[in-house]
Chain A
Amino acid sequence: MTLGLDLFTVLAVSAGCLFFIAGTVGLLRFPDTLTRLHALTKADNLGLGLVVLGLLPQSAGMLGALKLVCVWLIAQVSSAVVSQLIAGAIRDKGHES
């Protein structure tokens, strides 16, 4: 049972890291701000989500797990809002990279 949970953690956290790497590559390689934002949100939402999901079995009790989920939720809300604000600022300024 413990082995199964550990395996799940390794798989989920690795998948999360993959999304972070993909997001970083996108941030560096994509041509303009809007597509770069798109790359960032993948790292924030899916990457962090998978890392948190993977760490849930390892957390100290229900309270620890709840804190981890809270971290993910707050990061979700702030990244969504910040992306919207940056995208809005770009739209107001006119299209440029």
Chain B
Amino acid sequence: MSPATIFDIGLAVLVLGVAAWTILVRDTFAAVVSFVVYGLLVALVWVRLSAVDVALTEAAIGSGVTGMLLLGAAARLRPAEAGATPPSALICASAAGLCTLIAMGLAATTLILPDPAPTLAPAAMAGLPASGLGNPVTGVLFVYRALDTLLEKVVLVLALVGVWSLAADEEWGGTPEISATRQPDGILTFLAQLLPPVGIVLAIYMFWVGADHPGGAFQGGALLTAMWLLVLMAGVRTAPATGLVALRLVIVAGPVIFLAIGFAGFAWADGFLSYPAGYAKPLIVIAEAALTLSIGVTLGLLALGPPARIDRQ
């Protein structure tokens, strides 16, 4: 057995162990922390499978942003949890049964694939030079399956509308509540002043490098989210009112610009979401730049939760 195989087996065992712990642990907070660890380990698994793009997304979105959302949910649930009765044995058993069935189905479909598995990778690589891109994943996301990517960004905006609609009527358009620790000479304030410039440069790098190497709008956007939430939690800046027109413009800017480029395809190329020859890469970069900003702001607002108070001017 080569050292790489031993490492892979160890990693798989660790992932399964952490997954089991995430399910079995009673405390919600501990389960969320365990879920974040699980996400980071799964990111390592993707690296071992040479899917660095997926690994970056898993670490940033699957572990980072989702972990943040779940931590917020756990904090909100805490008062209600103490008096709650645990679900009945029947519900637990059926949930466990259904999950086992899905896991077995997935495992079976993976195992009955012919060897070598059917793949479109050579075809994807053959068409890539025409787009001017060097990263096949970005090629799939913005050339071959651009419609899926566009809908994905629209779903993100819809999710935010869903979260906002949890607000009471009179708080609509107000400011989300965030428990900031305002200590002007505290360590968190120091970090919130030191890290964002670095993080913003990294986010721009992440989106820019996505054309030719692993990276892209989602990973860059998640980094922007992290920087913004850090600044808000340190109390260096306050959260914006969700009714601000400028804020709402930033949220829809990415999907709208992407959609506009898509419709322009009717005029300058073969149809919806097709790019004119030679201009594919600049157009994709423009769409990705707008999407990075929109994703960053939208994910941040999702983590902040529904508006909870109105600031009267």
Contacts and interface: CB of A to CB of B under 8 A. Distances in A.
Interface string B186-211: 01101100110010000000000000
B187 A81 contact: yes
Contacts, number: 13
Contacts of B188: 81, 85
Interface centre among B187, B190, B194, B198 (most CB of A within 10 A): B187
A28 interface: no
A20 to B, nearest CB: 14
Nearest to A74: B198
A84 B170 CA distance: 40
A60 interface: no
A64 interface: no
A77 interface: yes
A28 B194 CA distance: 32
B187 A77 contact: no
B198 A81 contact: no
The size class of the interface chain B forms with chain A is: under 10
Contacts of B194: 77
A84 B188 CA distance: 9
Interface in A45-97: 74, 77-78, 81, 84-85, 88
Contacts of A78: 191
Interface residues of A, number: 7
B187 A88 contact: yes
Closest 10 CB pairs of A and B: A84-B187, A81-B191, A81-B187, A85-B187, A85-B188, A77-B194, A77-B195, A77-B191, A81-B188, A74-B198
Nearest to B183: A88
Contacts of A88: 187
Contacts of A74: 198
Nearest to A73: B198
A67 to B, nearest CB: 10
B198 to A, nearest CB: 7
A85 B187 CA distance: 7
13 contacts: A74-B198, A77-B191, A77-B194, A77-B195, A78-B191, A81-B187, A81-B188, A81-B190, A81-B191, A84-B187, A85-B187, A85-B188, A88-B187
A78 B192 CA distance: 11
Interface string B150-168: 0000000000000000000
A27 to B, nearest CB: 14
Interface string A3-23: 000000000000000000000
Contacts of A77: 191, 194-195
Nearest to B188: A85
Given A77-B195, A81-B190, 4 more contacts: A74-B198, A77-B194, A85-B188, A88-B187
